[in-house]
Amino acid sequence: MKLLEKMCQIQAPSGNETAMKDFLLTYVREKSKKWASKPEIYSGKGFQDCIVLAFGKPRTAIFAHMDSIGFTVRYGKELIRIGGPQTQTGYKLVGQDQKSKIECRLRVAKDKSLSYEFNREIERGTMLTFKPEFRETSEYVQCCYMDNRLGVWSALKVAEKIKNGIIVFSCWEEQGGGSVEYLARFIYKKFKVQQALISDITWVTEGVKAGKGVAISLRDSGLPRRTYVNKIIGIARKNKIPHQLEVESSGGSDGNSLQRSPYPFDWCFVGAPESNVHSPDEKVHKKDIESMVALYSALMKEL
């Protein structure tokens, strides 16, 4: 979990993913020397802060978004949400402007407006994120930004052994997307790949429990093609990998962007469930992390 803890420390809210991109590029270039297959790395011009790793002769692409929720400083001490963070007076926020590093506290007014408590005015446009406090027990890991540092972590673990496939690290997911459409075009045009898996983190609900296995989503606000989803369920059952079927009416992911793209991608959200969603205390069961990596490894071989 040391790699996951390190990634949770990196500030990368939607629109400001550069630090995470740089970390991942350094990590991949160093570690891929010992992987089963060394990937071609696509980044830089034409990719903004996104990264595409291509292994062998790919058939399937894993999408994992790098960004997190957060806050933008407006005027005075006002804050604007990035994505949909939970808000509670007293939450610790961190960031940096041209004057200094910042650790301040969130304040929620009666009218639900947001501001910060700090000993000076923070420069407008500064991005603030929850202060990471990584906790690990024998059963759980807990910190802000399990969504989606854990999805990225899982993709990196799968990358160690796959010989054919694509891994995409995307941007802006928490703020409504914007990168997946052009990434889909690149993947479709260059590799003819038409099927995708969304390595992201979902919710613990009345129907999806912690410790019962990775969630395979039949639908959320997006509606993947059932024939493709049934293939994924079949592979999970055949390999006896613990899993749960999720059905939701709201929420979304990079899969929604794929579905809106003009390219014929099949997609399915496959991810561990967490409690305390979009808060400083996101919590995931280790058994669900294990089954997530196991299922992705099987899917990249068999899809």
Per-residue pLDDT of the chain (303 residues; tens, 9 = 90+): 999 999 999 999 999 999 999 999 999 999 999 999 999 999 999 999 999 999 999 999 999 999 999 999 999 999 999 999 999 999 999 999 999 999 999 999 999 999 999 999 999 999 999 999 999 999 999 999 999 999 999 999 999 999 999 999 999 999 999 999 999 999 999 999 999 999 999 999 999 999 999 999 999 999 999 999 999 999 999 999 999 999 999 989 999 999 999 999 999 999 999 999 999 999 999 999 999 999 999 999 999
Exposed, middle or buried by CB within 10 Å (0-12, 13-18, 19+), for 25? middle
* Strand 135-136 relative to strand 92-96, pairing: unpaired
Whole-number Å distance between alpha carbons of 148 and 254: 12
pLDDT score at 164: 98
Structure-block tokens of residue 223: 């509606």
How does 34-65 read in b/e, with b if 16+ C-beta sit within 10 Å?
A: ebeeebeebbeeebbbbbbbbbeebbbbbbbb
Number of residues that make up the chain: 303
55 Cβ contact partners less than 8 Å away, ≥ 6 residues apart: 37, 39, 40, 159, 162, 163, 164, 165, 166, 167
What pLDDT, on a 0 to 100 scale, did the predictor assign at position 67?
A: 98
Looking at residue 38, what is its pLDDT? 96
Task: Give how far Cα 256 sits from Cα of 14, 64, 139, 178, 245, Å.
Answer: 17, 13, 32, 11, 18
Q: Quick one: pLDDT at residue 144? A: 97
